[in-house]
C-alpha cells in the first residue's frame, strides 16, 4: 500500500464530505450532526492535506518557479492576485452579501411569533356574572371583524357582549373581553365574523357558569381558540 496514494484518496473523500456539509451549512441546514461532521472532516481534511501538500511539494514548486531561471511564474502571480483580492474583499466585509446569500434558503423566521389582542370591557353596568372571554381568530378569519352575542338554546339573542365594529382602525385583532353575562345556563355564545360584506356565525354552548376556565372552541376554520373564564 502506497502512503502517498492513501493520503490523496483520504483527502479527496474528506473534501467531498466537507464540501457537502459546508454547502448544507451555507443554506442554513445547521443541525448539530451536520456542524459536527463538518468540523471533524475539516480537521481530518487539514491533517491529511498537510501531508498531501508535502508529498506534492516538488510539483507546487515547479508550478510556481521556473526551474532553470528561478524566476516566479505568471501562474503564481495570478493565483496570488485572485486569492489576495478575495481575501481583502472578505476581511473588509465587501463580499458579505455573497457569504450571507444562503440565508434565502433558511426555513422561516425563527423569532417567536406574536399575536395581538384588543382588550375590551363591556356590560360594565349590568348585574350579570363577570367573565373574561378570550378569542383567538383562525388565520383565515384574522381580518374579519367580530361581534359576540348570548342567545338562548332556541337561538333568540338575549345579550350583546360586543357589537359589530363600524369603523376599524388598524388591523383587526383577537379579542380579550372583560364583560358580564346575565343569561341563565344553558346558553349559546354566538360569534359573528364579518369581512367584506360576508358574515359567518359560529356558536358555543355554555352549560355551566361555575367559576373557572372552560374551553369553547373546536377547530372550525374561524376560531383558533376561545376560553371563557367565569370569575
Looking at the Cβ atoms of 22 and 130, the one nearer to ligand HEM is 22
Complex with ligand HEM: residue 21 or 183, whichever CB lies closer: 21
Smallest gap from residue 42 Cβ to ligand HEM (A)? 2
DSSP 144: S
Nearer to ligand HEM, 41 or 191 (CB): 41
CA-wise closest residue to 137 among 172, 182, 166, 105 = 172
Which among 40, 30, 44, 41 has a CA at the least distance from the CA of 106? 30
Helix (H, G, I), strand (E, B) or coil at 142: coil
CB of 40 or CB of 151, closer to ligand HEM: 40
CB of residue 199 vs ligand HEM: minimum separation in angstroms?
50
Question: Nearer Cβ to ligand HEM, position 35 or 229?
Answer: 35
Q: Least distance from C-beta 93 to ligand HEM, angstroms?
A: 14
48 versus 193: smaller Cβ distance to ligand HEM: 48
* Selection from 97, 65, 92, 100 nearest residue 80 by Cα: 65
Whole-number Cα distances in Å, 25 to 6, 34, 93, 96: 28, 8, 19, 16
Report which of 173, 115, 100 is spatially closest to residue 142, judged by C-alpha positions: 173
Closest CB 45 distance from ligand HEM, rounded Å: 5
Q: For the chain, report the end-to-end CA distance as a whole number of angstroms.
A: 83
For the CB of residue 198, give the shortest distance to ligand HEM in the complex, in Å. Answer: 47
Pairs from 138-142 (Cβ < 8 Å, separation ≥ 24):
138/219, 138/220, 138/221, 138/222, 138/223, 138/224, 139/224, 140/221, 140/222, 141/193, 141/195, 141/200, 141/221, 141/222, 141/223, 142/172
Cβ at position 60, least distance to ligand HEM in Å: 18
Binding site for ligand HEM (CB under 6 A): 18-19, 22, 25-26, 35, 38-39, 42-43, 45-46
Amino acid at each position: 500500500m502506497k502512503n502517498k496514494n492513501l493520503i490523496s484518496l483520504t483527502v479527496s473523500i474528506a473534501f467531498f464530505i466537507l464540501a457537502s456539509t459546508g454547502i448544507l451549512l451555507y443554506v442554513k441546514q445547521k443541525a448539530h450532526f451536520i456542524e459536527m461532521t463538518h468540523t471533524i472532516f475539516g480537521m481530518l481534511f487539514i491533517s491529511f492535506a498537510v501531508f498531501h501538500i508535502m508529498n506534492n511539494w516538488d510539483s507546487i514548486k515547479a508550478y510556481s518557479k521556473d526551474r532553470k531561471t528561478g524566476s516566479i511564474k505568471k501562474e503564481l502571480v495570478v493565483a496570488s492576485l485572485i486569492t489576495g483580492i478575495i481575501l481583502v474583499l472578505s476581511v473588509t466585509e465587501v463580499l458579505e452579501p455573497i457569504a450571507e446569500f444562503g440565508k434565502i434558503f433558511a426555513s422561516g423566521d425563527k423569532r417567536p411569533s406574536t399575536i395581538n389582542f384588543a382588550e375590551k370591557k363591556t356590560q360594565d353596568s349590568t348585574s350579570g356574572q363577570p367573565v373574561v372571554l378570550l378569542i383567538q381568530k383562525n388565520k383565515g378569519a384574522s381580518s374579519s371583524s367580530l361581534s359576540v352575542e348570548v342567545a338562548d338554546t332556541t337561538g333568540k339573542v338575549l345579550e350583546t357582549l360586543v357589537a359589530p365594529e363600524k369603523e376599524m382602525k388598524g388591523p383587526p385583532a383577537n379579542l380579550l373581553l372583560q364583560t358580564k353575562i346575565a343569561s341563565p345556563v344553558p346558553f349559546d355564545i354566538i360569534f359573528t365574523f364579518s369581512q367584506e360584506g360576508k358574515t359567518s356565525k359560529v356558536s358555543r354552548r355554555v352549560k355551566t357558569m361555575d367559576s373557572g376556565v372552560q374551553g369553547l372552541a373546536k377547530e372550525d376554520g374561524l376560531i383558533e381558540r376561545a376560553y371563557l373564564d367565569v370569575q
